[in-house]
């Protein structure tokens, strides 16, 4: 038993603190994917820091939906929209 434990760690030798980390999320990452961030996790007593595991949760978008690697949306148009010059369609390829 520690007679005079430190008030910060209470004699455990480690403290917990909140930190902000910037990590790169790859394009097209899907819901449920786990990303590993090297050396940003907890360290054991006297050991090196471990890896931080980040579970990705993709927030649904009100207009766009994902279908695998594709992004889909519904756009309602009339026949007059299509036959006039008011309508244009652009496809993007990344």
Look at residue 1 and tell me whether its pLDDT is greater than 90.
no
- Identify the CA nearest to 73 among candidates 64, 61, 85: 64
Q: Does the structure show a pLDDT above 90 at 55? A: yes
Average pLDDT over residues 16-27: 88
Task: Give the domain extent around 43.
Answer: 34-83
When pLDDT is cut at 50, 70 and 90, the band that residue 51 belongs to is very high
Distance separating alpha carbons of residues 46 and 51, to the nearest angstrom = 16
53/22 Cα distance (integer angstroms): 13
- How many other CB atoms are there within 10 angstroms of residue 1's CB atom? 4
Q: Per the structure, how many domains does the chain have?
A: 1
Q: Is the pLDDT of residue 54 over 70?
A: yes
* Mean per-residue pLDDT over the chain, rounded: 84
- pLDDT reading at 11 higher than 80: no
Q: What is the rounded average pLDDT of the residues 65-91?
A: 81
> Does the residue 45 lie in any domain?
yes
Task: Determine, yes or no, domain membership for 47.
Answer: yes
Judge whether 13 lies within some domain: no
Residue 3 in domain: no
- Helices within the chain (DSSP H only): 79-83
* pTM, entire model: 0.60
Number of CB atoms found within 10 A of residue 51's CB: 13
C-beta of residue 35 within 8 angstroms of C-beta of residue 56: yes
pLDDT score recorded for residue 2: 67
């Amino acid at each position: 038993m520690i007679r005079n434990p430190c008030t910060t760690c209470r004699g455990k030798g480690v403290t917990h603190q909140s930190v902000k980390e910037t990590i790169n999320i790859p394009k097209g990452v899907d819901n449920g994917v786990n990303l590993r961030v090297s050396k940003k996790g907890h360290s054991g007593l006297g050991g090196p820091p471990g890896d931080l595991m980040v579970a990705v949760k993709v927030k649904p978008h009100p207009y766009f939906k994902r279908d695998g690697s594709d992004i889909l949306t519904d756009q309602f148009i009339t026949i007059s929209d299509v036959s006039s010059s008011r309508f244009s369609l652009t496809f993007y390829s990344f």
